[in-house]
Amino acid sequence: MTTHRVHRHRGVPPVGARGPAVAVLMAIGIAIVIGVALMTGPSGALAQAPAESIGRVKTLEGEVSVMRGGAAVPLALGDPIELMDEVRTGADGSVGITFKDETLLSLGPDSAMVIDEMVYAPATGDASFSANLLGGSLSYVSGGIAKLRPGNVRLSTPTATIGIRGTALAIRAPKR
């Protein structure tokens, strides 16, 4: 016959004898640990909500990708465009994007552009758009933002910034 003895350290009462307040605090602590575990991915980083789409790919030809989260992701028709995306086209690529205010923006071959800002809340009058052409060619047809807030549309290149007041234009910038 085997006898098991429970050895307690002096001054430390058994778990059940610590009182209901300690039991509640332990339960809260466990709930917090479980909640954090559920909010983190396998890497341990906090999971992020999906970014809001500010536009969609409407036309696409050849090689077109987006740099998102440090990785190049190929684009397809209908794919969302998000704030701070860097859209890139290859030597045979071109892409047309329609933004949520109906602004149309197209990139030609060997081009790269970052969407720096996109706010469109016509109910409150809040509207702005900013894109940075890193190199290549871009065409632009203004939408609702340029109509609502004409001074709040900016297109930048490595050497210049253009304020748009509601129009259509084309820009070519040398690659960096």
pLDDT per position as a tens digit, 112-127:
999 999 999 999 999 9
pLDDT of residue 75: 97
Whether 3 is in a domain gets the answer no
Q: Write the pLDDT tens digit of every residue in 69-99.
A: 899 999 999 999 999 999 999 999 999 999 9
Tokens linked to 42: 């396998």
Confirm if 77 and 58 have CB atoms less than 8 A apart. Answer: yes
Where in 79-150 does DSSP place strands (E)? 80-82, 86-89, 94-99, 104-107, 112-121, 126-141
Phi–psi pair at 55, nearest 5 degrees = -170, 180
Question: Which range (13-17, 72-76, 113-117, 166-170) has the least confidence?
Answer: 13-17
What range defines the domain where residue 38 resides?
Answer: 14-48
137 and 99 together in one domain: yes
Instruction: Say if pTM beats, i.e. exceeds, 0.85.
Output: no
Confirm if 110 and 104 have CB atoms less than 8 A apart. Answer: no
Whether 62 is in a domain gets the answer yes
% residues pLDDT > 70 (the chain): 65
Q: Write the pLDDT tens digit of every residue in 124-134.
A: 999 999 999 99
pLDDT of residue 171: 73
Whether 6 is in a domain gets the answer no
107 and 122 together in one domain: yes
Residues 151 and 114: their CA atoms lie apart, in Å, by 20
44 and 57 together in one domain: no
Q: Write the pLDDT tens digit of every residue in 24-42.
A: 445 454 545 454 444 444 4
Distances from the Cα of 59 to the Cαs of 30, 36, 41, 97, in angstroms?
51, 41, 34, 7
Q: Average pLDDT over the chain, rounded to whole?
A: 79
Q: Is the pLDDT of residue 43 over 80?
A: no
163 or 144: which leads in pLDDT: 144
